[in-house]
Amino acid sequence: MINIHDKTFVPFIPNATIEGRISELAALITKDYEDHCPVFLVVLNGAFLFASELVKRVGLSCEITFIRFSSYSKTESTGEVKEIMGLDQDLTDRDVIIIEDIIDTGLTMSALVKKVHALSPKSVEIATLLHKPDALKTPVSMRYTGFEIENKFVVGYGLDYDGIGRNLDCLYVLA
């Protein structure tokens, strides 16, 4: 059990389970993109740990670039998607794999997918560590999903509660 700010979180998914699943996703991506050189587009801040564990297991020549969005205030979605740091990579005719920590309402991802499609890529797929199907407010199609979870707030492995918890090496859920 851990306390962050005013809330208590309990252990949810252990590190070995997370990293075992990341290895499986990396193997799928390596197979699916054989003879291709994809661009991984990492959504900061939350996806930094998932992305680093995923890309180092992918046996492909690839490029990695970053974008930063903000859509959350404490533990509730603001419903507003704000871009903070833009795309600076040419994605024309490239196979893009977006790496996200969690798809909750789907608003962030659907805004990002639209933006990426406008840049004329060859293909766009999504790899997300977590997905809360019951929270989805707009359709998002994910090719690679680590874990489908209940609609509960989680921290750890890159995800924070009001700035804290990103460095935890496993996932915790609100008690």
Contacts with ligand IMP, residue ranges (CB under 6 A): 46, 71-72, 77, 100-109, 153-155, 159
As separate numbers, helices (DSSP H) first and strands (DSSP E) second, the chain gives 3, 10
Compare residues 33 and 51 and give the one whose CB is closer to ligand IMP.
51
Per DSSP, the three-state class of 11 is: strand
Say which residue the tokens 């790899």 belong to: 127
Angle 65-109-158 (CA atoms, 0-180°, nearest 5)?
Answer: 65
Q: What's the min distance (Å) between Cβ of 153 and ligand IMP?
A: 4
Radius of gyration of the chain, Cα coordinates, nearest whole angstrom: 16
Tell me how far, at minimum, the Cβ of 93 lies from ligand IMP, in Å.
27
Shortest Å, Cβ 161 to ligand IMP: 7
Q: Which is nearer to ligand IMP, 33 or 53 (CB)?
A: 53
Going by their DSSP bridges, the two strands 39-44 and 171-174 should be labelled as: unpaired
Rank residues 14 and 133 by Cβ distance to ligand IMP and give the closer one: 133
Q: Has 35 been annotated as catalytic?
A: no
Q: How far apart are CA 100 and CA 127, in angstroms?
A: 6
Active-site option among 104, 134, 160, 169: 104
Please identify every residue annotated as catalytic.
104
